[in-house]
Amino acid sequence: MNTILLFLLWVCIGASSSNVATTARCEYYNDTLCPDSTNQKCYETQNCGPTDTEKRNHCFVLWQNDSFGNPYIKLKGCFLNNIDCYDQPKCVEKREEPKKSLMFCCCEGDMCNRNFTWEPVSTLSPPSEAVPKPVTGRNEDVLPVALYTLLPVLILAIIVAILYWFYRQRKLAYFNELPTIEPHPLPPPSPILGLRPIQLLEIKARGRFGAVWKAQHRTDTVAVKIFPIQDKQSWLSEQEIFKLPHMDHEDILRFIGVEKRGDNLQAEFWLITAFHEKGSLCDYLKANIVTWNEMCRIAESMARGLMHLHEEIPANKADGYKPAIAHRDFKSKNVLLKSDLTACIADFGLALIFQPDGSAEDGNVGTRRYMAPEVLEGAINFSRDAFLRIDMYACGLVLWELASRCTAQEGPIPEYMLPFEEEVGQHPTLEDMQECVVQKKLRPSIRDTWVFWHFVTRWKNVGTMMQKQDSRLHVWWKEWFCSLAETPHKESS
């Protein structure tokens, strides 16, 4: 009898343990890479990475409700080991709608995030029905009493409405206000002025959120980035970054102002900055090679700019508090070269501000080619340090592009190539980058002709660390940034 009971107990335990759903594949979507969530071609199947016996894979969905309650998907993919996701066969968000309407749900089981719902659990009890009390007495005197009581209130309401109308008319006479940022003791003068006499000369580049023009403003040459009406949010986000305290830095693109041109559906949103004739680092390296001194000058200024962006700066008497900022689309196209071949960082349309009392809820990142391994795996950690490490990885790829076109190497200098271009070509898919960087663990090769530099010999160690996805890599880069300014700018003999 005891043997039979033990056998039945073993069967029950085995049956219950076998019901744990395993997640090997999830539906993947990223609105940064394909903003049309209604297009089925934008959806892909993501293979979740292997886990140890104590961790489990989940699928997740990050979305946002519009003003009509319709979901706008931001991100889908794999999620690693969250206890709130255990034994959840369906992807359901049960919290009441947050302030920014950003929803998140997770589940277990292959492709369980294909469908998702929002079922908020209300904590409010239904209002009790009021039982009307019988009215007693005469009603003849009610109307005069009500008029005497309500007339002063009505007059006061009319006065308040008139004052508010005058206030609105005066406010609309100025340019549309931007989203508010953290106040500081001495705010700088607003760069939002009336329409400037700007003449567009020629288009220099087209990007994800708009076109960049070379333009003439009186006697100055400026750059004008024009956003169409559907990308107004990117225009707002980018100028919010520029208007933070301490952003007037020599290695950050100089901000001049913003304007709105046109009305209704013909509206355009202009972002006006300094113009640099040499263009982006990517375009410059395609047509030019650089000497050792030039390479160090570009790398040093680029490193200073990225470190300034990542740095938290406390408020002082002259300016307010500057939070840490992650660029999230760092690449050679977004590094501009000045006339003296120093670099400045541009394009903050995807940048993320880390306020001390806030947390990152947006997993958007930039160009596939520059995505870090953890991003390609779908194991995004929504923390400040995680996003800053993603920037550092992309910066390492840009430094590789720069070194590949330096004259201080043996033999002929090869033609310019993008990172991983030899492995995945010029237009890689997400699957191409996942196979190359995550599965095969490939990294841009450090050529043997570079080894005779003491400077580049240290890159060999970085290459090994990148192969192993060593967590010390990002610390090493930061130390290297600090020491680069002390490196003697001497040509190799």
Instruction: Say if residue 421 is in the same domain as residue 290.
Output: yes
Residue 130 belongs to a domain:
no
User: What are the residues whose beta carbons fall under 8 Å from the beta carbon of 372, sequence distance 6 or more?
Assistant: 389, 390, 393, 394
Res. 344: pLDDT tops 70: yes
Q: What is the pLDDT of residues 185-207, one digit of tens each?
A: 434 434 444 577 899 999 998 87
Q: What confidence category does residue 127 fall into, taking pLDDT thresholds of 50, 70 and 90?
A: low
- pLDDT, position 491: 47
Choosing from 79, 95, 118, the residue where a domain stops is 118
The alpha carbon of residue 247 and the mean position of all alpha carbons in its chain are separated, in whole angstroms, by: 18
Choosing from 75, 94, 118, the residue where a domain stops is 118
- pLDDT, position 473: 47
Instruction: Say if residue 471 is in the same domain as residue 325.
Output: yes
Instruction: Say if residue 391 is in the same domain as residue 291.
Output: yes
Q: What is the pLDDT of residues 167-176, one digit of tens each?
A: 776 655 443 4
Residue 191 belongs to a domain:
no
CB-based burial label for 217 (10 Å; 0-12, 13-18, 19+): middle
Share of the chain above pLDDT 70, in %: 74
Residue 249 belongs to a domain:
yes
The whole-number average pLDDT for the span 376-383 is 80
Residue 188 belongs to a domain:
no
Residue 10 belongs to a domain:
no
The whole-number average pLDDT for the span 46-61 is 82
Query: Which amino acid belongs to residue 275?
Result: F
Q: Which residue has the higher pLDDT, 312 or 94?
A: 312
Q: What confidence category does residue 431 fall into, taking pLDDT thresholds of 50, 70 and 90?
A: very high
Instruction: Say if residue 378 is in the same domain as residue 474.
Output: yes
The whole-number average pLDDT for the span 57-62 is 90
Instruction: Say if residue 341 is in the same domain as residue 248.
Output: no
CATH number at residue 268: 3.30.200.20
Q: What confidence category does residue 287 fall into, taking pLDDT thresholds of 50, 70 and 90?
A: very high
Q: Which residue has the higher pLDDT, 2 or 163?
A: 163
Per the structure, the count of domains in the chain is 3
- pLDDT, position 331: 95
Instruction: Say if residue 350 is in the same domain as residue 478.
Output: yes
* Alpha-carbon distances of 490 from 12, 451, 480, 485, rounded to whole Å: 74, 16, 18, 13
- The three-state secondary structure class of 47 is strand
Instruction: Say if residue 248 is in the same domain as residue 289.
Output: no
Choosing from 118, 136, 151, the residue where a domain stops is 118
Instruction: Say if residue 338 is in the same domain as residue 475.
Output: yes
Instruction: Say if residue 313 is in the same domain as residue 406.
Output: yes
Res. 453: pLDDT tops 60: no
Residue 42 belongs to a domain:
yes
| Antiparallel, parallel or unpaired: β 25-30 and 71-80 | antiparallel
The whole-number average pLDDT for the span 413-440 is 93
- pLDDT, position 209: 74
- pLDDT, position 433: 94
**Of 36, 37, 41, 77, nearest to 429 (Cα)?**
41
- pLDDT, position 171: 54
Q: What is the pTM of this model?
A: 0.57
Instruction: Say if residue 247 is in the same domain as residue 374.
Output: no
Instruction: Say if residue 366 is in the same domain as residue 389.
Output: yes
Mean pLDDT of all residues belonging to the chain? 79
Residue 128 belongs to a domain:
no
* Alpha-carbon distances of 368 from 30, 193, 334, 374, rounded to whole Å: 11, 38, 14, 12
Q: 71: domain range?
A: 22-118
Instruction: Say if residue 92 is in the same domain as residue 59.
Output: yes
Q: Which residues belong to the active site?
A: 329
Res. 467: pLDDT tops 70: no
The whole-number average pLDDT for the span 114-143 is 62
Res. 330: pLDDT tops 50: yes
